[in-house]
Structure 1
Amino acid sequence: MVRMVQKVQNLAAATRLNDWMRNRSWAIAMTVAIVITVGGLVILETARERIAAEYESALEARDVSVQLSTLESQLARLGAYQSGFLLTKQAASAQAYCTTAARLRQTAQQLNLYYHRREAGSAGTASFTEIAAQIDARIGAGAAAMQQAAPQPLGLAACGTASDAGLVDTALVDSTLSLLRDNEARRAQHALDASRADQRVSTFVAAGLSALNIVLFILLFRNLGIQIDRQARVQRQLITQQEELDQLVNERTRQLEALGWHLQAVSENEKTQLARELHDELGAILTASKMDVAWANRKLKDSEPAISEKLTRALANLDQGIALKRRIIEDMRPTVLANFGLVTALRTLADEAAQRNNWVLDLQLPADDIQLDEQTEIALFRVAQESLTNAAKYARASQVSIGLQVEDAQVALSIADNGVGIMPADLKRTHTHGLLGMRQRVAAHGGHFDIRRGVPNGTDIHVVMPCVRASVPEAPPAGTSPGSV
C-alpha cells in the first residue's frame, strides 16, 4: 500500500515537472516569437514610411517634369506669337506674347524655387539658373524686336523690360530643358523602383510574419493536442492507481473491521470465561472462607474477644471482596443481561448510573423484555454502558433519557442528555477510543452509529442495528439470582 501511494505521488510529481518544463519552453518560444513579430512590425512601419516618402518624391519629380514640359511649350508658343506679330502686325499677337511671357516667368520662378530648395549648389540648379537667364533674355529680345517692327508704339509693359541682348541660344535652352526633364524622369523612376523594392520587402516581411504565426499556431495546437493526450493518459493512470488504491484501502478496511470484530468477540468470550471462573471458583473460595471465619468468630466471641474482633473485621473484608467480585463480574459479563434480557439490563444500568450521578431518568423502554441474539444484545448494552460513562465524566448533565424501539427488521437505541454537549471538533477526532469502539462495535454487526450535538445543548446518540431474534432461553435454575455469589 505504501509503495502504491509512493507510485501515485511520483507520477504526480513527474507530471508537475513536465508541465513546468513545457510551460517554460513555450514561454521562451513565445517571447522569441513576440520579439520577431515586433521587429517585423518595426520593419513594416519603416518600409511604409520610406514608400510614402518615395512616392512623394516620385510625384514631385513628375510634377517638375510636367512643369519643364510646360515651360518648353510656353517657349514655343512665345516664339509663335512673336512670329505672328511680325507677319501680321496685329496688337493681339503682341498681347498674347506678353501674357505667355508672364506665365513663362511664373513657371520659371516656381522651378527656380524648387531647384534651390532641393538641390542648392548642384549642377541642376546652375543649369536652371542659366536657363532662367536665357528665358528672360529671350522675352526681352522678342519684345524689342516687336517694338521695332511695330508701325506705332506698343504697350508691352506686361512683357517686362525690352532689351537688345543679342541672339538667344534656343538650342541650348531646349537641350538643357530636355536634360533636366530626363533627370527628373530618372529620379521619379528611381523613386518608384525603390518604392517597389520596399513594397517587396514589406510583402516578404508580412509573409514571413504570417508564416511564423501560422507555424506557431500549428505548433501550439499540436502541443495542446499532445498535452491534452498526455494529460488524458496521466489522468487515466491516476484514476487506475486511485481505483487500485481505493480497492486496497477498502480491502484493508474490511480486514481491519473483521479483525476488530474478532478482537471484540474474543474479548467478550474471555470476559465471559473469566466472569464464570470468578463466579464459580473465586466465589466458592470466598464463600467458604466467610463461613469458616464466621464459625470461628462464633466460637471465640466469648472466650477471645480480641481475636473475635479481628475475625469480625476479616468478615467485613470478605464481604467487600465478594462485593468487588460481583462488580467485576457485572462489568465483564452482566448477569442481569444474561439472565433477564436487554430491557431489564438497560433499566438496571440506567438506575444505578442515575443514583451515582443524581440524574433524572426518562426511560422509554418496551414493557416486556425482547429476545435478540446474544451479540446484538451485548453490542447495544456496551454502547449504552459507554455512553452513560462518558455522560458521567464529561457531560455535567442533570437529565438522561434512554429509548429502545424494536421493529421487525431493526432495533434502535437512543441516548440523550442535557449536558454541555459534544464539541464539533471532538466529532472529527480519530483518537477518541470510546467513540471509535462504539462505532466499530455497531459497524461490525451491520448497524449505523450516529452522534451529534443536541439542540440547544447536550449530546444525542442514535444506534440502529439489524434485528435478529433469538430463541427464548430456558428459565434459570431455581435459587439462581443476579445477586448470588
Structure 2
Amino acid sequence: MPEQPPATEPRRSLGRHWRGLLLGLGAALVSALLVSSHWQATASLGALRQLQLQAERTGRLDSLLIQLVDAESGVRGYLLSGERAYLEPYLNSLATLDYTLEDIRQDLAPTPEDQNALAQIRGLVVLKKRLLADAVNRGQLGPEGSADRAAEGRRYMNDLRKAVTEYKGRILARGQRSFDASIAHVEATRWVVAILAGGALVLLVLLFTMGQRQLRLRERIADLLRRENRWLDELVQERTAELSELASYLTRTRETEQARLARELHDELGALLTAARMDTAWLVRKLDPDALAPHRERFDRLLETLDQGISLKRRIIDDLQPPLLRELGLVVALRSLAEDFAERSGAELHLDLPEGDLPLSAEGALALYRIAQEALTNIRRHAGARTVTVALSCKDEAVQLRIEDDGTGFVPARVGRRHYGLAGMRHRMQMFSGVCEIDSRPGAGTRIRARLPLVVESASVS
C-alpha cells in the first residue's frame, strides 16, 4: 500500500483533534441532558408524592370525623330504641379512633403549631368519647339535662370540625407551596433541556459535516477493505463449518443426555412416586374408618397429587425421549403428538399421514419429530391458530414433513437471532443434507416444509 505524503499528516492530526473535541462536547451535552431529565423527573415525582401524601393525611382526618359521626349515630340509635345492636358502630369506632389518632400523629411536622393542633383534636376526641360513654352507661338521654348534654355534644363536634378544618387547611397550604416549588423546578429544567437540545442539534450538524469528509477518506481505503473482506470470508466459511460440526455434535449430545435423563426419571423418580402412592393407598385401606374420616380429604388430595406427579413424570419423559417414536415409529409418534396438541390447544387438526412407517433411521425420524414438536409448540404459544395441518409423505427419494397453520404469522426476516427454535429446525435438516423452509406473513399463517433425502440420510447414519 502506498505511503501517504508527509504533508497530509498535520491535516489528519488536526482532524482527529477536532473530532475528539466534538465528541467530548457531545458526551458532555448528552450527560447534561440526562442529568436535567433526571432532575425534572425527580421533581415531578416529588410533587406527585407530596400530593399523594397530602391526600392520605387529609383522608385520615376525614376518617376521624366519620368515625366520630358513626359512633354518635350508633349511640343515638341505641338511646332511642334501646337495642344494643345499634351500639356496633360505636364500639367499632372506639376500637379504631386511637389508631387513627396515632396515624395522624405520625403525619405531623415537628412544629409547635402542628403539635398544638393535634393536642386540641385529641382533647376534643377524648371529651366526645367520654360524653358518648356516659350516655351509653345511662342507657337513655334522661329527663334532666338532656338538652344541655346535646348542646355540649354539638359544641364538641363543632369545635372538632373547626380544628380539623384548620389543620387540613394548613396541610393543603403547605402542599400547595411544595407543589408550586416543584412546578417552578420543572419549568426551569424544561428551559435547560431545551437549551441543551439546541446545542446537541448544532453538534449533530457539525458531526454530519465531518462525517461527509470522512466518507471521502473511506473511499481511499476501499481497496484495502475488499482484500481484507475476501480473507475474512474465507475465515468465516472455515469457522462456520467448524460451528456447524460443533452444533451437530451438541445436538446429538443433547439427545443422548435427554435419553439418559428420561431413563433416570423413569427408573428412579417413577419408582419413588409409585411406591409413595402404593404406601398411601395401603394406609387408606388399613386405617380404621372412624380414625380415617377426619383425614379422608387430605389422603384423597395426597393421592391426587401423587397421580398428578406420576402423570407429569410421564409427560416429561415423553418430551425428553418420545417412547412411541422409539417403539412404533415416526408416523404413530406424529399422530400422537398432533392429537395431543389439538386436545391442549383446541385447534382443528387435519392429519395427512401414511398408513405404514417410512424407511428412516432413528436419527432421521428423531430430527423430523423434533421439528414437528417445535413447530406445534410455537403454534400453541404464539400463533393463535384455529386450523392446523400436519402432513408426512415420501416421494422423489425423500421424506417431506409439512406443517401449516392459519395463525397470526410473522416476518421471518425480522426474527431475532435469539429465536433458536427456527434455527434449530434448519440445522437438524442440514445435518442430513436436507432443507427446512419457513414461509410466513403477518395475518397469513405459517408454513413449514422439511425435506429429508433418504439416500443421503442413510449414508450419513452408516
Q: TM-score, normalised by structure 2?
A: 0.49
Which of these two proteins has the greater Rg computed from alpha carbons? 1
> Higher RCO, 1 or 2 (CA under 8 Å, sep at least 6)?
1
